Chain A
Amino acid sequence: MMVLITGGSKCGKSSMAERLLQQFDGNKYYLATMEPFGEEGKLVVDRHRQMRAGKGFQTIEQYTQIHQAEVKPGSGVLLECVGNLCANEMFSPAGQNREGDVVQRMLTDIRQLAQICQLLVLVTNQVGADGIQYTESTTAYIRNLGELNWLLAEEADLVIEMVYGIPVVWKGKI
């Protein structure tokens, strides 16, 4: 089963994802995609680590090529977040941007991951609704993440948008 959780900044996406995995009986992994830059990045990582403490997650840091994360077949996996993964693939030296269509590559990688998981919860991000005109590369990022989000939603069994902590279900049933 694949779940996609979207929403804006600090709206409760992680909490919802963890709640969905709470009942999962078996190996649980947290795939962290954010490379912590500077003090603030470290604070975010620490905050999320504290939130997950004692909840039985094994953390794997995987910044690009998400299918390479070594998770056992039949596991429950929380991937956080698709927005970071997309940024890494597009802009980091290890990313796959130079090798053609980054969206299709990410989709293929995530599909591959989904095939070995029993439950895959993807946390993504809404980034295209602030009305600001950005540089070409940021605009490309917004487009790519938007496209990836709808492609993932098409394949997901459950799609939830978090609005100030409240789940709004767009597809499937909680």
Chain B
Amino acid sequence: MYLIVGGMGQGKEHIAIEQFDLKPEEVLDVAECKLTPEGVTAFLAGEEGLRIRCLNHLHCLLREHWDSETDWQDWCRQLAKRRPELVILMDEVGSGIVPIETKERRYRELAGRVGCMLAAQAKTVTRVVCGIGVVIKSS
């Protein structure tokens, strides 16, 4: 699995398309598809999911399902195991004031933890700043 991270609007999609030669139909936008975390795994395992080579906006899935009882460690591990060539895009969202609202705070913490889990599983991690992709992990 390959992970591409960075702040909002920094050009992660651009880097992903360029680096992995992705076509629009090969990208699953988890912000739009209304799937649960388990739904995403199931979809990818199904026939229709075979064409998918990239998950976009993963942080939105975490925002939507911040209180889900998903075993995220296992979720990340399964994803990396079953789809070793998958490209995952997610925003960095943790560099602000700790939110007072429980939901916002838990979402940010979850994004931090899941980001660490995915990065640990990833073959490469690219961080995008101002459209420039810097590889911060390569195996």
Q: Chain A interface (Cβ within 8 Å of chain B)?
A: 7-12, 126-132, 134, 138, 141-142, 163-166, 168
Contact = CB atoms under 8 A, between A and B. Distances in A.
Contacts of B51: none
Interface of B: 3, 5, 7, 92-98, 108-109, 111-113, 115-116, 118-120, 125, 127, 136-137
Contacts of B115: 11, 164-165
Contacts of A128: 95-96
A9 B118 CA distance: 16
Contacts of B94: 7-11, 126
Contact of B112 (A10, A127, A166): A10
Contacts of B111: 9-10
Chain A contact residues, majority secondary structure = loop
A132 B97 CA distance: 9
A163 B112 CA distance: 9
A10 B116 contact: yes
A134 B97 contact: yes
7 contacts: A9-B112, A127-B97, A128-B96, A142-B97, A164-B119, A164-B125, A165-B116
Contacts of B5: 163-164
